[in-house]
Amino acid sequence: MRTLASILIPLLLLLSGSPANAQGKAAALTSFSDSIQELSSRISPSVVQIIATGYGLESDTQQVGVSVLSRERSTGSGVIVSDEGYIMTNAHVVQGARSIRVKLNDAEKRSNSIVDGKLIGLDRQLDLAMVKVEASGLRALPFGNSADLKQGEVVLAFGSPLGMDNSVTMGIVSAVARQLSEDDPRIFIQTD
């Protein structure tokens, strides 16, 4: 299995080293693009869209002291972390949800690509939640080790921003240990 670094390093050496002919550069870029497409096709089936609905108090915009109970809907991304149907997502996506639906990206292999999910647990401070679905043949992504991550590495982000399912974007690791304040126990990986 080729890693993104094993693809990029020869490409960068070719582009920044001694002058190479235009055909060589074009071939390297085509190879890089093909590698990203191949990686995307392997990862995308493990990334899902979460649709959570529930009820909450609507803010009092006129400030007359009356709150209205209204239906709320949120969407977000999730990652299949076990072929037994466990999916990791953000806690703010499913917090307070009365119904959780999961849209699977591997829809061509299933008769119904939207399945019901059950909240297993969440951590508000880390903004992580675990959802379980009853489905078979799921493709789980293994966990990596964040200690191995280095500043400047090229990374891909997969997800469903703003309810638009199955997107991918590329960036770099800006910092491997970003802390918002000294009192905050959370340490973030910043990507741009």
User: What's the mean pLDDT when you consider all of the chain?
Assistant: 83
Span 125-141, average pLDDT: 92
- Lowest-confidence region among 11-15, 69-73, 153-157: 11-15
**What's 146's DSSP letter?**
G
**Rounded Cα distance, 101 and 130, in Å:** 13
pLDDT in tens, 79-120: 999 999 999 999 999 998 999 999 998 655 555 589 999 999
pLDDT in tens, 18-48: 555 566 777 778 888 898 999 998 999 999 9
Residue predicted with more confidence, 58 or 32: 32
Direct distance between the N- and C-terminal alpha carbons of the chain, in angstroms, rounded to an integer: 25
Q: Of all residues in the chain, what percent are helix, strand and coil, respectively (each to 5)?
A: 25, 40, 35
**Rounded Cα distance, 161 and 173, in Å:** 20
* Amino acid identity at 98: R
* Amino acid identity at 88: M
**Rounded Cα distance, 141 and 130, in Å:** 14
